[in-house]
Every structure is written in C-alpha cells, then in structure tokens.
Chain A
Amino acid sequence: MTSPPRALTSRAPPEPGGAEARARFRTARFIMEAGVKLGLGSAALATACSSFHALAAAAPALAQERFLVAAAALFVAAKAQGTPRRARDVLNVTLRCLHPGSPPPALDGNFWGLRDSLVQCELLLLRALRFRLPLAHPHKYLLQYLLALGRWAGGPWGRVPGVSWALLRDGAAGGLSLRHPPPHLAAAALHLGLELCGRGGAPRDPPRWWQVRGSWGGGLGGFG
C-alpha cells in the first residue's frame, strides 16, 4: 500500500462545487463510462480516475485537454492493472462516448493520428505523475471487511456489499482515493452502505479501523 505522492496531495484541490471541480468530475465520470464500456475492472477504473485527478492537480494546463487525457489515463490504467486494452478499442469507445450514435471511426490517417496522440499523451501523463500511478485502492480492503463482517453477522445481508461497492466506485470518480488512505475509504463505504440499507450501525465496540471515518462529507459532495 503506497499512499499517493505527496506532491500531488499537497496541492489544494479546487474548491468544491466550483466550475473546475465540476468539469473534473464530469471527466472522471466520462472515464468511468468509457471504462465500463471497455470492460475494465473497478481497480483499473479507480486507477484511471485517480490518475486523471492527480494529473489535474499536478499539471492543470495539461488537464485542459480533458478527453484525450482521460483516454490516456484509461489506457495506462488498464495496463497497470494487468488488463491491457488496445489503443484502437480505447479510441473507439471514447469517441463513441463523446459522439453518441456516430459510426466507429474509419481506420484512416486521421485515426492513426489520434492513436499517436493517445500514446504521446500517455507518456506525458506518466511523466507528469513521475511514473507513480496511484495504484493503492480501497477495493480490496472493502472486500476483506465485507468478508469478515459477513462472517460475524452470519445470515444474509441483502445489498450491503453491492451498495458499498457502488459507493466506493463512485467515490473514485471524485478522486477520493487521493485524499484518504484506502482503508478509511473502504470502512467509510461500508459504513455508509450499512446506513443506506438501514442496517444499524457498527458492531459493538468497533475496532480501530471502524472509527476512522475521516471527512466523509467531502466525498458526498461528489455525487451529483
């Protein structure tokens, strides 16, 4: 578990609700959508979103080229998580997301040009992040917590895992994982999941990790 580079986290995030924050969130959502359509896993998606947010924090100028950066972030995150996707697929999907209903691009010089810029942008992204992709994710914590808690609780527990899983995924789009350590995020997601499902609070005398809810409120702001 490596925490995100200090240089990235130290920058102050844009004020919540501002135009910049909204734009970033939209881009992150775009990443999520394209990632789902590319069939990427939660961890890869979280990596892509975090990469984008990290880049936006590190090099705001570069992040203006939102969708290209988003595509590059997806491309590199897929590779980083061991589920590489072809550049052609990434381009196809992202273009389709941007222009719904349009036919897939013809494989002409224009397309190959796009592909080149994607690869260039990937390199740029990596360099801006100093080749340190934000790879630490709360997902496995959440899964382990769910497992342990599920064993303790015994019987069926409805949709708690699903809800908390969704919360975690959606939280990644808000770039939460850059701001909080993964176990905290996982615990928070689990707790909120329990709350949302009306499943009473934590077990009595919660362990240490249970009390580290941090500033969850900021995270909630992300869910538009």
Chain B
Amino acid sequence: MDRELLRQALNHHGPALLSLLRAEQHDNPDFRGLLPPPGAAPEPPRGAPPAAWKERASIDTEIKRFIAKKADLLFAHSWKPNGPIEDSIEENEECYAVMPPLERFLEVPREERRELFFRDIERGDIVIGRITSIREFGFFMVLICLGSGVIREIADLEITALCPVRDVPPQSNHGDPLSYYQTGDLIRAALKDVDRYHEKLAVSLYSTALPPKLSSTKLGVITSDDFPLHYKRSLEVANTGETFEEVLHRSPGFANPSLVEYLAEKLGLSESNPPSLLRSLQIKNFSEEDFAPALRKQQSASWALKCVKAGVDYFKVGRHVEAMNEYNKALEIDPQNVEALVARGALYATKGSLNKAIGDFEVALENCPTHRNARKYLCQTLVERGGQLEEEEKLLNAESYYKKALSLDETFQEAEEALTKLRKHMQKSLEMREKQAAKEEREKAKKIETSAEKLRKLLKEEKRLKKKRKVSTSSSSSSSSSSSSSSSSSDSSSDVSASSSSSSSDHKKRRKKRRHRSESAHSSKKSSSRASSHYKDQNRKEEWYSPPADTSASFLNQSFEVEKLLERQDSVACPKMEVKEKDRHCSFSRTSGDDEDTFGGRSEDSRDSYSSSRSQPSHSKTEKYSKPERYFSSWRGPSGSYHKSDYKPRMHYYRRFERDGEWRREQFKRHGSGQDRYYMSPGSDYSGRSWGKYRSYSSSCSHEGDKDYDSDRQHKNESESKNRKISYEDTDKTKEADEEVSLNGTEQAESGVKRNLPQNLVNIFNQIAEFEREKGSKQKKQ
C-alpha cells in the first residue's frame, strides 16, 4: 500500500472519497490502519471547478467511486514508479514523434514560464543562444532553446547568459579568443552557473562543463541546422499555427510501428508485465506454467517422449536405424530431451561410436544432472573409450577419460581399476619413451661431439706428420656426404635445443654447423675402425634405427674405439690448426657428446644388431673412456662449467691417442705410402685452406684426387655404391673384423682400421664440405 499516494488522492478528492473508501475497503486490512479518522480529512485544496465542466459533479463521484473500488489495486506497491523521462530519451525522429514543448500549444504566461525555467534548469545543461554583445570580459547571449535536460520554450523569454572570457577556448595561439566570435553567432554552450535568485546564468564553451554522458557534444558556434529537433518543430508550429494533434500526425516518427514498444520502454511501462486494473488480469495471479513457452515446452517434451518410446521399441527388436530415426525426431522436437539423449547415446555406444555417445550423455547430464542412467552410461562409455585409447597408445587421453569417469562417479570400480592399470602402463611407457628419446639424443650428440673435435685432432696430426708433403685428395663422394648430412641436419634442431643452454647466441649458428660436420665425421670415423664399407652400414643404422637399445657401454665402446683410433691418426695428421677455433669447437662438440652420453645409457635393442658384432675385449677397453664422460654429462649445468669439467677426462685420453698416434705413424710408414698418403691428404688439404673456402675446396679436392689418387677414388666409389645399397654383408664383414680384433688384440685391429681409414677421411671431408656449403648459404641468407 502506497500511503503517500493515497494521501495525495485523498487530498485531491476530498472527504467524499474517504467515506467511499471506507465503505468499499472496510474488509481490507491494509486500508483499515491507513485511513485517517474522518475528522482529520484535509480540506479539498482545489478551488471551484471550472465552469466549463458541466457534469463535473457526477463524473467526480463516479471517479471517486471508482477509486474506492479499485483502491487496493490502484495503491498497490506493484506499480512501478515512473520518474522523470527526459534523461533516457534522445531526440530521434525515427523512433517517435519529436514534438515541440507542450507550452508552445498552451498559452502559458511568460512569467510563469520564466519561473519554471529557472526552477528546472541545472548546471551542465546545454543551452543554445545568439550572441548579442561582445565585451572585453566575455560575451552575452540570448537563449533560444535548450539542448538537453528539460525541454522548454524559451525563445521569447529573452533570458541572457554571460560567457566569460576564461570560458572561451582560444581559437588560435595568439590573440583575443573573443575576436573569433561575432554578434549574431549561434552558440551552443554548457550551463556553468545558475543564480536562480537573480536569474543570472553563466555558460562555458569548454566541454568539461558538461556532464560525462554529454561530453561528446561539441560546443561553440553552430548553424541553424544544428538546432535541436524540438526547436525546429517549434519554429514550424509558430509559422503554421498547427495543433498538437496535427503536428503529431505529420511527424514521421509517429508512423513508426514500434513506437509503442519504444516509448513504453522509455516511460517505464512494461509490456511483458502489463499493469491492469481488472482484477482478473492481475499478472501476478497468472502462473508461469500457463504461459505459451512453458506450455509448448511441456507439450514438446511429452511428444518427444512418445517418439523415444517408439524408438526404444524399435531398438528392442533390433531395428537400430528406425530407432535412431525416432530418437533424432524426438531431439528435433525437443533438443534438450534427456531421455532421448540418453537413449540415443546408448544406441551410439552399442554401435561403437563412443565419442558421439559420450557427447549425448554429457548433454543429457548437463540438462538433468541427477539422471542416474545418463551418469551410469556415461561412466561406462568413458571407461570403454579410455580402453580404446589405451590400446591406441594415447595414454594421456585415456587417463583423462578415466578421470572424468571417476569424477562423475567416485564409486565406479571399473574406472578406478582401469586408471591404476593405466598409470602403471603410463609410467612404463613414459620411461620407455624417455629412454628412447634419451638414446636418440645421445646418439646425435655423440656423433656430433666426437667428430668435430676428433676431426681437428686428426687434421692436426696429419699436418704435423706431413707438413712438407703436399697432398690433395679427391673427395667428393657426394652420395655418402649427402646421406650423412641430411641425417645430421635433421638432427640439428634437437641438437641446438639440447645445447641451447650453453654459450652465447652468436656461437649457436656456427656450433650447429660444427656439429653437423662433426656428427658425420664421427660416424665415419667410427666405421673407419672397421671395414670402410661397414662405416656406411653403421652410419645408417645409427641414423635410421632411431631407438636402438643397448647398454651405453656397448654403444660407447664402438664409438670410443673409433675415436681412439681416429684420434691417433689425428695427432699424426694436423698439428697446425687455428687453435682458438679448435678449442671452441672442441668444447662445443664435447657438450653435445655429453648430452648424448646421458641418454645413451638407455639405448635399446635395435642397436644390438651391430653392437653384438663387437668383440667383448674392445668393449671393456673403451669403457674406461666412456665412463668419465657419462659422469660429466649426467651433470648438466650451465654450459661453461660443464665444458671445463668435461675437459679433463677428455684430455686424458687425447694424450693417449697422441701417444698411440706416434706409434702409429711408424706403422703407417711401414704399411706403404699409398694408403698413408691417402688418408693424410685430406688433412693437409683441409689445413691448407681457410674456413671460408669450402666450395673451392671440394672442387679442388676432386681435381687433385683425380691426378694423384686413383686408388682412393676407387675406394670411395665402392663405398658410395655400398652406401646406396644397404647390404648386410657389411655387418658380416664387421663381425669378421671384430673377431679379428678380439683375437689378435688391439694392435691388429688398429692396423685394420688404418687400412680403411682413408675412405673414412674422405667421407669426413666431404661432409665438412657439405656443411660449410650449408653454412655459407645460411650466411648469405642472413
């Protein structure tokens, strides 16, 4: 009960209404307390009714009776109070008929309008006026109309406002801001100060004087086109003398079909919750279920259910297609129908499309979280799907499915079991995968590591040995180099990431290249300890049987054996290399080698094929070297310190190699010059040229090779052809060689290696050439 309103009505209508009210609403408890005692009724405030309204009295009583009758509805709280309207309605002629202010049609005395204007005007309102005089302290303007807030007819009121100089923004950097304005200009300004008592106004041309919602309005000089619509209308009316109704019908906005909607909303009248004074139409008495959407939903649901039933019947007799059709129809009728979703999900599940089934069940559960069957089926389907995924080795996905199932139903035994099983499986496979990854890495790294460094050594040795001797080699076995280079380049990315922790970025590029080179070199070196043809084979194996499984020892054995042998040769070959670079690269290569080692420990079976061919003694022998390396590699700290620590053990066996090299030198001499020359020639050539000239190098090599070392080339060609054809004879050969090694001891094996070495060296250099070319091209690109 709105007491305020009741009092207002009583004030207005006088005591007659009160008695009527008392008669009508005597049984309404709300009114009993509210009605003032009869004596306290205030005097009717209104004067004599206008004489024009003849039937005033009868209508008055009629109205009073009506009020009394409807008082409980009329004064109920459910009405939405309607505040002032001006704020929210913008002047948009398309939405509604913009009318001139009402007083344009009334004959309201000026004084009253003036009074009303000063009563309602507020700071921040927009006013529009014409400049009447400009003084040094500002200009005066006569207001024509209002641009916001209350809409009033003020053109004839001759209200003046002052715009002080300080509120006029300068138009240019110098000069009087007022010089821009002239008498007669139309100005839009913001009201800055209102002195209601003295009826004085101050305006500003700065938009900071505007309230935030109007701050985008441009203030200053305007043209008559910029007048607000209502003022334009007002001017028209002044000319034509139209009535309110005529203007209304004429204005385009009045024909807007959605005018009712628009204005009703703006005026706070709700169309969805319409007010009514009819008792039977009080919307609060309507139940929500009786509204059209609810009814339709109910109806659809029952219809859909019917379809589902039919579908289930089909399903029971095994007619799955018809069943599916029924379910789909049900879902078309009622897309959120839980039963239909569950039934269709079950059908999907039986047909094996588990993902669809899961989707349906999930939607069903979303709509009805308590649906037991949906939950049950969903759990089962999830577990089943998890099992499928498990078989497909998508373990993580499977796990998430199991987890989901468990989160739905914590007591679901099956899911729990499956999950624990899966976890075990995952652990295992994770380990396995780790091993594999480690192995791969290690392989790569190892190849890289040893090769560059060793190469350097090799070159050094060779150089030292054959300083005076000018030898060139024909080494452009493109096939072998390309094969190795391609594999190494594919590896390179992972290499970089593995060693990215080390050293500055500008080294990276080169290091990478280095590693390529060294990798290939390494692989060739390795094989060099065996038959030359075997090299290819092994190289391939390493490249292509990516996840080899063996003990690190066996793997390392091979490589280190090779290393050793190679290093001996190195020491013989090239003593004079750019020391700086070498060192750097040595460290790089070592890093990578270490990486390799860490993982190499877990390498697996595929390795076996050839590792088994190695003889045991050599294993044990090289193990010595592999161990310290592994130790260091397992400690992967910042690269710098890493290198350092790594350095010592390395050096240890380098020295040994060198010693061996000394011994070997003699052996070489003994063995005959052809071979000797051959393997040295690349070294000397290598050392002879600068780093940048790789292209020329390769060509010159081949040239010289043609001249001097036909036999070498033969060798090479042989190796090339073998490289192309993976023949398993090679392994046999190696085996034989290995056996030889094991029987006759290291020396023999080494000599055997020597024999094959030239071939390997050729390969190495080819690879180097390849890499340099690559590097060159990269640099070009850069």
Contacts and interface: CB of A to CB of B under 8 A. Distances in A.
Nearest to B281: A32
The winner among A88, A96, A192 for most chain B CB atoms within 10 A is A96
Contact residues on B (Cβ < 8 Å of other chain), bracket = 35 or more
B244 A104 contact: no
Given A159-B80, A197-B8, A93 B275 contact: no
The winner among B11, B80, B106 for most chain A CB atoms within 10 A is B106
A207 B281 contact: no
Contacts of A144: 96-97, 99, 248, 254, 263
7 contacts: A1-B249, A89-B295, A141-B248, A146-B85, A166-B276, A223-B277, A224-B278
A61 B694 CA distance: 110
B22 to A, nearest CB: 17
Interface in B615-670: none
Nearest to A41: B271
Contacts of B8: 158, 197-199
Contacts of B11: 198
The winner among B59, B151, B276 for most chain A CB atoms within 10 A is B276
A67 interface: no
A29 B290 contact: no
Nearest to A104: B299
B100 to A, nearest CB: 9
A204 interface: yes
B296 A161 contact: no
A197 B245 contact: no
A29 B280 contact: yes
A152 B103 contact: yes
A170 B243 contact: no
Contacts of B9: 196-198
A156 B263 contact: no
Contacts of A33: 280-281, 286
Contact of B63 (A141, A150, A195): A195
Contacts of A106: 299, 302-303
Given A207-B102, A207-B105, 8 more contacts: A137-B260, A152-B101, A156-B81, A159-B80, A163-B275, A197-B74, A201-B46, A220-B62
A205 B108 contact: yes
List the 3 closest A-B pairs by CB distance, nearest first: A198-B9, A198-B12, A166-B275
A158 B81 contact: yes
Contacts of B248: 141, 144
B62 A163 contact: no
Contacts of B283: 36
A84 interface: no
B263 A217 contact: no
A208 B241 CA distance: 13
Contacts of B96: 143-144, 147
Contact of A173 (B5, B244, B278, B295): B278
A92 interface: yes
A175 interface: no
Contacts of B67: 196
A42 interface: yes
Contacts of A165: 264, 269, 274-275
A8 interface: no
B296 A92 contact: yes
Interface string A29-44: 1001100111101110
Interface string B667-698: 00000000000000000000000000000000
Contact of B278 (A41, A86, A92, A223): A223
A216 B58 CA distance: 12
Given A151-B151, A220-B62, A37 B292 contact: yes
B318 interface: no
Contact of B150 (A38, A96, A154, A208): A154
Interface of B: 5, 8-13, 46, 52, 59, 62-63, 66-67, 70, 74, 79-86, 89, 96-97, 99, 101-103, 105-108, 116, 119-120, 150-151, 243-245, 248-249, 254, 257, 259-261, 263-264, 267-269, 271-272, 274-278, 280-281, 283, 286, 290-293, 295-296, 298-299, 302-303
B303 A92 contact: no
Contacts of A192: 63
B66 A196 contact: yes
Interface in A38-56: 38-39, 41-43
Contacts of A207: 102, 105-106, 243-244
A143 B83 contact: no
Contacts of B79: 159, 162-163
The winner among A86, A100, A143, A217 for most chain B CB atoms within 10 A is A143
A170 B290 contact: no
Nearest to B298: A104
Given A92-B292, A209-B245, A103 B298 contact: yes
Contacts of B303: 106-107
A148 B99 contact: yes
Nearest to B251: A144
B118 to A, nearest CB: 12
A167 interface: yes
A78 to B, nearest CB: 11
A121 interface: no
Interface string A175-212: 00000000100000000100111111101111111010
A170 B276 contact: yes
A20 to B, nearest CB: 19
Contacts of B257: 82
Contacts of A124: none
A100 B82 CA distance: 34
A197 B5 contact: yes
Given A97-B290, A151-B151, A169-B274, A208 B245 contact: yes
A162 B273 CA distance: 11
Given A36-B286, A205-B106, A207-B243, A198 B46 contact: no
A72 interface: no
Contact of A162 (B85, B102, B269): B269
The winner among B101, B275, B296, B302 for most chain A CB atoms within 10 A is B275
Contact of B66 (A39, A151, A223): A223
Contacts of B89: 147
Given A104-B302, A183-B245, A170 B277 contact: yes
A166 B10 CA distance: 21
Nearest to B45: A200
B292 A38 contact: yes
The winner among A151, A158, A200, A223 for most chain B CB atoms within 10 A is A151
B286 A217 contact: no
Contact of A198 (B10, B249, B271): B10
B5 A159 contact: yes
A105 interface: yes
Contact of A29 (B97, B278, B295, B299): B278
B59 to A, nearest CB: 7
Contacts of A41: 260-261, 271
A207 B106 CA distance: 6
A223 B302 CA distance: 40
A151 B86 contact: yes
The winner among B81, B272, B295, B296 for most chain A CB atoms within 10 A is B295
Contacts of A216: 59
Given A196-B9, A204-B108, A151 B85 contact: yes
B84 A88 contact: no
Contacts of B276: 32, 166, 169-170
A114 interface: no
Contacts of B264: 42, 139, 143, 165
Given A105-B299, A151-B86, A165-B275, A37 B286 contact: yes
Nearest to B267: A161
Contacts of B74: 163, 196-197
A20 B289 CA distance: 32
A46 B257 CA distance: 15
B88 to A, nearest CB: 11
A104 B296 CA distance: 8
A18 interface: no
